[in-house]
Structure formats: structure tokens, C-alpha cells
Amino acid sequence: MSIQSLIIDCDPGVDDAVALFLAFAAPELELLAVTTVGGNVPGAKTQRNARIIRQIAGREDVPVFGGAERPLKRPPAGAGAFHGVEGLGDLEPFEPTGIVGDGPAANAIVDLVMSRPEGSVAIAVLGPMTNLALAMRRERRLAERLGPVVVMGGARSEGGNVTASAEFNIWADPDAAAVVFGSGCQVVAFGLDATHQVRATEARIVAIESIDSEAARAAASTLRFSQRVEREIVGWPTFDWGAPLHDPCPIAWLIKPDLFETKPCRIEVETGSDLTRGHTAVEFRIDPATARHRWAVAADAQGVFDLIVAKLKAQTLEAEALEAGA
């Protein structure tokens, strides 16, 4: 089994929570840090929420660093209607015991990447890209040192979920996204074209609920919240179709890439127009040999949920074995 060193940059967020629970349960990932950014809810809450999820998962060994409170150039955005006022849906927030890492997230990203072999550290960006853009500005060599940058963000054929053509994470800080996509680093992007294929149907939520662990129950709770919100706000027939599961897709790809089909492309982000702010222009008509970007076009939805169930079950069994041997 190969192990990927990974930083997760996120704005928890109900689907961020499921992504973190998956990553915390995956032995294929060496989690160097979780960094947080203002996005779905304000930065103070995303940092607290990451620490809550870390504590529920029993992974206090992974440092959490708070990061940017606002986008590079624009007022803060928010998506509390889809994540709850506190960002964790129906989960009751509490003050976690684990500490916050020393220093801002951008500095932690630079230090962790530059101190490791070139290309060995991946970063999964599950919220606005502000922290990574700031890190790239502070260390000009960062892009060439990074391993794959896996991103949840953007939209092409599906259209947007904030405007007609923009997905929330890119729309929230398009200037940061433009920095990252234009940096020359290798980016694999999981936009709405792929994540809308991965839906939390009733049967898939029940499968997670059947696992006897606090992490599984918390993950299922966030999915139940999303199911209800999508039905009430968006009006989709979610009991038959299921709410889309966005942020776990990049994590699932890092663990099991054959769950997704990606295509080489060039991605550019609109930053100048208010009408099309955050639009991702995904161009497939390029020479694949020169492509620095890939775009996810298809996903094995059942495979993604089977992976989540398998990792959470294995983590539960390991915890039970450790407790029995204590």
C-alpha cells in the first residue's frame, strides 16, 4: 500500500465533515495537517469545526491550523443555509479540547511542503483557495514543490450552484482560484459535473448509520441534514435521488483514483465580470502532453460510498481491537 502525504485545506461545512471523517479513517493518507479558511461559515467556526471533527474521529495527532478569514480581494461569502448556522448541520457544536497549530495556515502549508521532498506532499482544497494562494505568494517555489493539488470546485456542463455558471468555492474567492490554476502546479479538479453524480441516497445513508461509531453517526447526521436542506431549498427529489456529496470526492480520488474519470484540460477562472464571477472555463482542446490540469467528468457514486463505509468500518474495528487489548 502506497501512502500519500496530505494537507487538507477546508471550510467545514457538512460535506467537508464527511471528507475529513473519510481521510481520518484512511491509512493510505499521511495527514500532515488540516488548515481552515472562511467559506461555508466564518473562519473562527470552520477552525473550531475541524477540531470538533478531529476529536470525534480520535485523531488529535493531526494538527489544525486556522487560516484566512476573508477572500483576497472581496467581502466574505457564506453558505450557512446549506450547512447550518454553525456549519455542522444538526450536530451540536462544542468547544473541542485539541489545540490549534502555531501560526497561520499559509505559513504551515509553506513549511510542510518545503521541508519535504519535491512532489511528495499533496493538498486537497475543499473550500475557497485563499490559504493556498497566500502560501504561493509567500513562497514562489511552492507550486513546483507541490504534489497533486486536488480541488473541489468549479462547474462546466452542470452550470453553477451560486450563479448560472459559478460553483460556490470558486465564486467565493475567484482571485485565489486564478492564482492557483495559473501557478503551473498540477491540479485535479472535481467540479459539479462529477460531484452531482455522487448522491447520498437513503440506502447509502443507512449503510453509514449501520456502523457503530461516533464518527459514522456524525457523518450520517450531516448527510441527513443535507438531504433535508436540498429538498427544502433546492426542491430536488432527494429521497429518490439524494443530495450531492461534493468534498469527499477529492479525498476518495486520492485513496482510489479509479473511482473517477478525469480528462486533461486547461482551467481559467473569471475574475473581472460580476455577471460571470468565478466561472471556470474548462478547455479540453489542448495537447494532453502539456496539460497541468485535469477535470473530473465521471464518478462511480456507489464506489465512493462503499469506500466511505469500508474505511469507517475498518477504523471502528481497529478501535475495538485496541480497546480489547488494553
For residue 263, what is the enclosing H or E element? strand 260-269
CB 245 within 8 A of CB 14: no
CA-CA-CA-CA torsion sign (276, 66, 30, 59)? negative
The rounded distance, in Å, linking the Cα atoms of 165 and 161 is: 8
CA-CA-CA-CA torsion sign (6, 10, 15, 20)? positive
Q: What are phi and psi of 206, to 5 degrees?
A: -60, -40
| CA-only gyration radius of the chain, Å | 18
Q: Which of 290, 287, 289, 293 is nearest to 263 (CA)?
A: 293
CB 304 within 8 A of CB 245: yes
Give the 3-state secondary structure of 267-284. EEECCCCCCCCCCEEEEC
- Joined grid coordinates for residue 93: 457544536
CB 326 within 8 A of CB 220: no
The rounded distance, in Å, linking the Cα atoms of 317 and 193 is: 35
Q: Catalytic: which of 196, 246, 279, 293?
A: 246
How distant, in Å, are the alpha carbons of 77, 97, 164 from that of 159?
19, 41, 6
83 in active site: no
Please tell me whether residue 137 adopts helix, strand or coil conformation. helix
- Joined grid coordinates for residue 6: 496530505
Pairing of strands 243-244, 199-200: antiparallel
Q: Which residues are catalytic?
A: 246
